[in-house]
Structure 1
Amino acid sequence: MTGAGPGDGSGDGAVTGVGGPDGIRGIVGDDAPPSVRHTGNEAERVARSALTQILEPGDEKGGRWLREFGAQGLLSLLTAGAYEKGALPGATERRVTGLRARAAGVVPGERLDAIRALGGRFVIPGDTEWPTQLDDLGDARPVGLWVRGRPDLRAWALRSVAVVGARACTPYGAHVSGSLATGLAERGWVVVSGAAFGVDGAAHRGALAAGGATIAVLACGVDVAYPPGHLELIKRIAQQGLVIGELPPGDHPTPSRFVLRNRVIAALSRGTVVVEAEHRSGSLVTARRAQQLGRLTMGVPGPVTSGLSAGVHELLRGEAVLVTDAAEVIELVGDMGDLAPERTGPVLPRDLLDPGSRQVLEALPAQRVAITGSEVARRAAVPDDDALGRLYELHSLGFVERCGEGWKLTTGAIRGSNARRGGA
């Protein structure tokens, strides 16, 4: 893998600033020439851009044809005046007719002009900016990716985590996803999501609020704001991060495109975190595809009574790993030594006592009934002199008090004992 730089027409007045985490910000210079980012054959780029208008995302047969005939060869087969039967292996006559009808309305290179007018670019396999982890999708890998935003896609994807979840999430889900994204961004990780309502939107906003890096993977053209209510959010992501998609400018989403978009999110990132998802959820599709690709899959638990957490809990019963914050996510996807802090309860004053003093202290009745030093020694199974010495030490520390000839616990010692046992 090699480094990369800014691309062809990668910025206009609306797309400014690189943003991103430490170690990624500044990798590419704003004035780097287009050739730094786009090194592939331009005829290949034109052909692939046209094919994104003809083939649906994730079309494995189309990917097979693309692999066998090359982009220019496949485009020629679909646009030639006459078509030889059987030229496309495994394609029915009806399929060929449909594809050729689509191809008839395509003007090669037209959408490349459209993306350049937006200040964006079209990235294809062979470019230095191409994220090679997408090749793990085999014949289902994208034909190419339409990109808005200045940062280098490959460099950002190398250190990215997907945060996905329910559109109709609860306040708990929105809070957790936003906090996770903020924590990841503050630690130099790129947050990938789908720009949908709910968890996706909260994740993008959490990363942006931290001044960090985020990538929105759309199921439509990168110039189409979907959902429309996220118009301003998508604009901000294009300015501070990256907006990418498989479909050319102007194309609108369909239900199947949303599902197929999820495979790109899964393949692009080192791991996927699911925050709230029902049993039937596109987020679970993303998580399961991530598992198939050998990526880490993580889930944030929720109330067992919540249907919006039922899908996550099902994942956690399988191969997914339970996480509760950014540190735990990074421990899984990060480098050796990126460990989450050890989780411990509060340290109480009595926890600092040596074993002998603690043994004497525990011999005193919890009801604050005074007993003699000899009785304390008997209960603690220690000599009288040892018990008496320990009692005076505990008295100086505020754990016990004298009551005539006897000893009893102080009120503070009772509270500490209850706290240690989990009481009120």
Structure 2
Amino acid sequence: MSRNLFEDLAQQTAGELGAIRAAGSRAGAGAVEPTDVVASILLGFVSEPGDGVLGRLVGSLGVRSVATGLLSGWPAREFADRTADASGRSDPPSTRELAAGIARWRPRLDRDAFVRSIAQAARVRARLLLPGDADWPGGVDDLGVHAPLALWVRGRSSALAETPSMALVGARAASGYGEHVAVEASAGLVDRGFAIVSGGAYGIDGTAHRSALAANGTTIAFLAGGVDRFYPAGHEALLGRIATTGAVVSELACGAAPTRWRFLQRNRLIAAAAAATVVLEAGVRSGSLNTAGHAAALGRPLGAVPGPVTSPSSAGCHRLLREFDAVCVTDAAQMAELVAFGAEEDGDDDARSRPGAATRTLEVLTPEEHRVLDVLGIRRARTVRELVPATGMTAGDVLGALGALDATGLAARSGDGWVRRRPE
């Protein structure tokens, strides 16, 4: 891409930009320059979700300057010099971090693919939300530098701003018991005025979505790929129904495929967008435990539904109750109390507009540190030998991450192992 492509891209996609931003303007959002819209889309297009280096860079320079620099071929040193002169965030990335970031982002600068992505978004009637829009879900801002720069929505974007909301997550291979709990919980929460947030997957997620729809409630599905490609394919009809009355959401541009890492990063949006998270059924290695870990790290209320002690499908929930200080909940009334309890702890302030100390600390964590934090428990210490297979990292990388987590107050030594510290 050449130096002058930035303005060219805005002009070339002007018609599509008007269509995909229609929802934001209807919601009463202030006017945003087309170049700023293109910059936000472009940075999301070239980066992976939750890239903290990019988040810190944007915090210092703004989306337009960062996009201009990438398109113009600025070296890491020029970005570093400009962040040093900026009056934005006090923690801009180092030159070394910027060099690694540029090596990740610049190879993805593909003009034709970028233009096709925007055209595809317009074709499927996706809408783009930016921070500051009236329909922007304020809870995701608590992710700090790991927050999304934009969100793509198919359906009713105002569903994202509806409160209260509850994330219901759980195993894909759900048992009859888990599906029964999901049906009752989702319908009961809808009756109490909650919007249901989940991940659109098979098992507990899909059951929670269907129950909310059957109860004429609002439900929101966060995807790990572009909103033009409903995934899993077996839920195409379900996700289409969700988009009719609620919303299907992703931070990834149209055309992006779901990957394991993107599923894990998608989970942080589910936890952040909802006022509380409840794990209804989960095995000991269920991905829903990752969502629970994000909720705990953000200081969100976390609930878990107990199951038979002999059932492997409930072993993850029992671990949350034992190691993560999750609250034992058995019905919709008790789940609703999680949100009321969280509000009482925060006094008269809005919990989602006032991140706590743990949230502020999370802003500077690397993906590796997040990965280690996700698998640490509050009560039972885990050794480095246990953390290596659990995180998929080397022992050296695990030790480095633990040292950083110790320094930031998020983890502590306990005997021969490590534990997660409770949020202040």
**TM-score, normalisation: structure 2:** 0.68
After superposition, the CA RMSD in angstroms is 2.7
Distance 1:66 1:107 in 2: 23
1:11: how far off? 12
1:170: how far off? 0.6
Within 5 Å, give how 1:10-409 maps onto structure 2.
34=26, 36-37=28-29, 39-81=31-73, 83=75, 85=77, 87=79, 89=94, 90-91=96-97, 93=99, 95-105=101-111, 111-156=117-162, 158-317=163-322, 318-334=324-340
1:232: how far off? 0.5
Partner of 1:237, secondary structure, is helix
Partner of 1:91, secondary structure, is helix
Distance 1:45 1:221 in 2: 18
| Worse-matched range after superposition: 284-293 or 107-116 | 107-116
1:37: how far off? 4.2
- Report % sequence identity: 42
Greater fraction of residues in helix: 2
Counterpart code for 1:117: R
Counterpart code for 1:258: F
1:281: how far off? 2.1
Distance 2:115 2:31 in 1: 17
1:39: how far off? 3.9
CA, structure 1 residues 9+152, in 2 after alignment: closer, same or farther (shift >3 Å)? Answer: farther
Distance 2:131 2:342 in 1: 30
Structure 2: tracts of 5 or more residues without a match: 1-16, 81-93, 345-424
1:131: how far off? 1.5
Distance 2:171 2:271 in 1: 16
Partner of 2:97, secondary structure, is coil
Structure 1: tracts of 5 or more residues without a match: 1-6, 13-29, 339-424
Equivalence for 2:5? none
Counterpart code for 2:330: T
1:93: how far off? 4.4
Distance 2:53 2:171 in 1: 31
**TM-score, normalisation: structure 1:** 0.68
Counterpart code for 1:149: G
Larger Rg over CA atoms:
1
Partner of 1:309, secondary structure, is helix
Distance 1:235 1:174 in 2: 21
1:251: how far off? 1.0
CA offsets 1:291-315 (integer angstroms, 9 cap, x no match): 1111100001001011111110111
CA offsets 1:202-233 (integer angstroms, 9 cap, x no match): 00001001111100000001111211111111
Contact kept in structure 1, 2:279 and 2:305, CA below 8 Å: yes
1:266: how far off? 0.4
Contact kept in structure 2, 1:38 and 1:129, CA below 8 Å: no
1:183: how far off? 1.0
